[in-house]
Structure 1
């Protein structure tokens, strides 16, 4: 290891005083001074091991001070350090010494040369320093570790050590420390004394009106979390005004985070307080000039609906939702469309059908022909779920025309989303009602130019097969499944092979024997060697589903015949197939038919064929 002291060097690298007890720190110093970032990263990841070797006292007096002074490094290394320190409570002596991770320590008993390297000074402890760095992910990890450590403190230790740290961060000169402080208030507030609680709330109020938008954003993102640990009176008198101010902030990035906090705040208040204190601000957010704020309202709509209750939902949220469904921005309409099913499900059962039919469905009908494909796709992913809510008659009369229109949509994702949720409508009206429009849509998707679209429809084929029944499947879709086996994209051929196995499991071995197996085996004579190999892949998966008799009588002869194929790739796949189906066959077939063929392949001129044949002989114990 370049630059690191080896085990045989003792502590000479550490300071030449012959004290082996300093060796782990010495090695750590050398590794962290190395130019190789990966070496430094690996060293940081070993910190817990090093701490165990040092013991709790030396970890407190040597390792932590050293880390305090080597806090400047690559972000990746600092991230690992922040993560490691969150689990250090036990390594410094347990909860009684958890404060050592939060306060600078001057009790370092190190060799002279180590002290010279460290240039020991009373700096911030590692986690506090990490909570102030510029890189966001490092700060977030440091805050996460600090939150974890806070739980290890007694109430007395919390006020003596953790709360002062939070105050230092909240009062820091750099915005980075103040943003980190926002994530720490909620973990220390519940166990603090009343006097300290008042100070904590004051600091949080200051951060909510900070001059720097990044700090206000951080405060807004933690507003709901902080509200949950406050007394109800404080929520009304302090948190709600903060919410109102943040929801009216000049920066839309702050306003949209205030919407998220609204969910938590609404859960804490009575209906009267909600109507008076929160709803004016929420109505304002739903009509905000920034589409990003309106998008957040749409995205959090189901949570807001549950938080405010049915009465306010009916009076305020339904009209707001209607506006979001016809918003001028496609992103907002798509987010609202995604929430249609959840909105309807969460409505009170009494009166739900009337609300949906009169106040939601007219807007849904407009979205079916929306100009934006993402909006139509979002709606298609949830609209089928309305059939179970509205029942058979409403589904046939009002929803079925929408389903049929979407099955004919020019966008493949829209058609695919409808097909993928057919089980919902099948429960209510049966799939036959859709079959005339369903089949053309499936065929178009099956032959789509984008292979990922073809792959997606293959994955839904077993579901469709179960709903359509074996007769309809054989008549309309069987040929599609076979066509996929010779697709020019390997991923499609592979998926089609697995699809056959699932179909056999659904329709049974007799169906497989009469319908699928003969068509697969015909491909063994295909001029294209890739298609011949697909035959082997199909046999591999079908043998398990079809059982011993069909495998021995129909599939094995074809596999054995293909052992003489001119293409080496086919021959070594024959060896692999024989290894795969061997456990299904009886002993006579293995000894009399499989063994001679594998022995012949084991003498093949191609090295790969020989290898796989010998491996099959070994696995099947045919030597």
Structure 2
């Protein structure tokens, strides 16, 4: 401590930083890096430039977490070195970080360099940033060259013509680098670089880079080139796009590597948008059909998930003729994940195909998927039923799909039952009250006694939504009497669900019905032998206080709560006390 006191006051922050960054404790080093902005403010802009940044440039910490934190901090450091006029001083430590082995550190360093470079003045970009890009691009270690690829789109716009030609030449070398990791980075960043290049060089240099990357012997390079297809397609004129991008997409859809085909299937919608008008997109239909029938399940999963989007951007007749047969095949695919991917989007095809085609061709597929042995398939169909209803109408939907829905309401997988419950209010509003009473009413009561808590909770909320939909009179006649009967269930968890349902229904049916039919049941439940029931009664009585008249509060609710306040169970006494306080507030008003 005595030595610390001798440190000159202005040097104190940097001395502490040096000590902490050399400490064996990684957490101490991390904390120090995360306080760099505070240290910089203490030092001032001049000493930050002259002492702190050079020190960080020479820092040889080998822990990736510390280096990552440093790369992140430096990205927002321009205000602490004196503004954009001095932004170039931050390039040195970040250049070093761009060469480390750990990918996440390099990626964060490139991100910070892009952030700084985009704020630098044009002359400073030419003087400082572009030489950095060239140094990294010619780096001895592949890590430097990988990082360089992500910086060209920042450097290029500020470059004079001579330097632009040099930058394009350097990027060309990176596209032909002996290391696949460098070529991968060149393929990944080609779209961003292309967006800054002049139109004449886009058609020549950039398209040459692109073609060579798409023919790379490494599938990891080719699959990243797929991502460039959509970006380049949007930059090119339609005719150039058709000539240069379309053949590549078709070729990629038949690539020997399933990973490349997967990437095409996953990006197909974006690729279709890139290649221009509908007639051109139709040329991609055979390629898409191949992907839907691919040998690899992963490719079929990606392709199946795009079926509705793809049908939406091609002629409906083309979709019906070429895509629908594949959809029928996929609905019985050997992979459950393929069927689940199809089920998640297939309902969206109904508006595209129209009523007649939906009834004739899609409904059988829906019914097949609703009976699929894999629960995720059934869930995905249930969650999108309203899209079909909008096309074919509720009458036909109820005739064809309702039997399957009723069957699923008793499904052994609770998530499927939950999905059905959540869909019931919408279905009820469309079917009407009479149909609901006849076909679905009993199911809604059955769910109150489900073994799974989430189902019972959803069932109680479902009753409230139905009461709101059909009105309080309907609820008093069809729901409440059946709910009241279940209060005598021998299992206390089911009795608790009934109490929850009563508390949810009370605001809907109003004060009079609550006092006449539900409040007596709740008061009687206060004598239950299970403490959990009794403290829930106390909470329920508190929720009913705003609904009923103050005389009911004084003559019925308060005496019950006073009795509960004497209960041996501490939780019952606590909630009864809270409810009594609410009673006092009401009676004092």
TM-score (norm: length of structure 2): 0.92
1:226 offset after TM fit, Å?
Answer: 1.3
Are 1:64 and 2:53 an aligned pair?
yes
The one of 484, 489, 498 aligned to 2:461? 498
Question: How many residue pairs align between the two structures?
Answer: 586
Q: Which residue of 2 aligns with 1:366?
A: 329
Distance 2:579 2:27 in 1: 42
* Counterpart mapping for 1:66-215 below 5 A: 66-70=55-59, 72=61, 74-103=63-92, 125=93, 127-215=94-182
The alpha carbon displacement at 1:303 in A equals 0.9
Query: Residues 187-336 of structure 1 correspond to what in structure 2 (within 5 A)?
Result: 187-310=154-277, 313-314=280-281, 316-336=283-303
Distance 1:299 1:568, change over 3 A: same
The residue correspondences of 1:590-605 to structure 2 (distance < 5 A) are 590-605=553-568
**Please, which runs of 5 or more residues in structure 2 have no aligned partner?**
none
Quote how far apart the aligned CAs of 1:76 are.
Answer: 3.3
1:461 to 404, 419, 424: 424
> C-alpha separation between the residues in 1 aligned to 2:19 and 2:506?
60
CA distance in 1, matches of 2:354, 2:556: 59
Deviation, 1:250, is: 1.4
Distance of aligned partners of 1:91 and 1:510 in 2 relative to their CA distance in 1, 3 Å threshold: farther
Q: Cα deviations across residues 420-458 of structure 1 (Å, max 9, x unaligned)?
A: 222122112113323244234324433333333333333
Given that residues 455 and 492 in structure 1 are in contact (C-alpha distance below 8 angstroms), is that contact kept between their aligned partners in structure 2?
Answer: yes
Determine if the alignment matches structure 1 residue 571 to structure 2 residue 534.
yes
Query: Which deviates further from its counterpart, 586-595 or 185-194?
Result: 586-595
Residues 246 and 275, structure 2, Cα contact 8 Å, conserved in 1:
no
Tell me which of 557, 561, 571 is aligned to 2:524: 561
CA change 1:409–1:604 in 2 (3 A) is: same
Give, in angstroms, the shift of residue 241 of structure 1: 1.6
The answer to whether structure 1 residue 383 and structure 2 residue 372 are counterparts is: no
Where do 1:602-617 residues align within 5 Å? 602-617=565-580
In the alignment, what sits opposite 1:423?
A: 386
Aligned partner of 2:438 among 459, 464, 475: 475
Given the two structures, how large is their TM-score scaled by the length of structure 1?
Answer: 0.87
- CA separation in 2, counterparts of 1:138 and 1:589? 68
Shift in alpha-carbon separation, 1:553–1:83, aligned structure 2, 3 A: farther
Asked if the contact 1:266/1:308 (under 8 Å) is kept, the reply is: yes
In the alignment, the residues of structure 2 paired with residue 30 and residue 544 of structure 1 have an alpha-carbon distance, to the nearest angstrom, of: 66
Taking a change above 3 Å as real, the CA distance of residues 450 and 53 of structure 1, as seen in their structure-2 partners, is: farther
Query: Distance in 2 between the 1:140 and 1:619 partners?
Result: 58
Cα separation, partners in 2 of 1:89 and 1:587, compared to 1, 3 Å: farther
Report the Cα offset of residue 249 of structure 1.
1.3
Distance change in 2, residues 1:418/1:60 (3 Å): same
Shift, 1:36, TM fit: 4.6
Preserved CA contact (<8 Å) 2:382 2:419: no
1:323 Cα deviation from its structure 2 partner = 1.3
In 1: Cα distance, 2:463 partner to 2:102 partner: 50
Summarize the Cα distance change of 1:554–1:27 in structure 2 as closer, same or farther, 3 Å threshold. farther
Give the distance between the partners of 2:361 and 2:310, measured in 1 at CA: 18
- CA–CA distance in 2 between the matches of 1:340 and 1:243? 28
Q: Equivalent residue of 1:382, what SS?
A: helix
Moved more, 334-343 or 515-524: 515-524
Determine if contact 2:230/2:270 at 8 Å carries over to the other structure: yes
Q: Give the superposition deviation at 1:549.
A: 3.7
> Is the counterpart of residue 589 in structure 1 residue 552 in structure 2?
yes
Q: State the distance in 2 between where 1:553 and 1:71 align.
A: 79
TM-aligned CA deviation for residue 187 of structure 1: 1.8
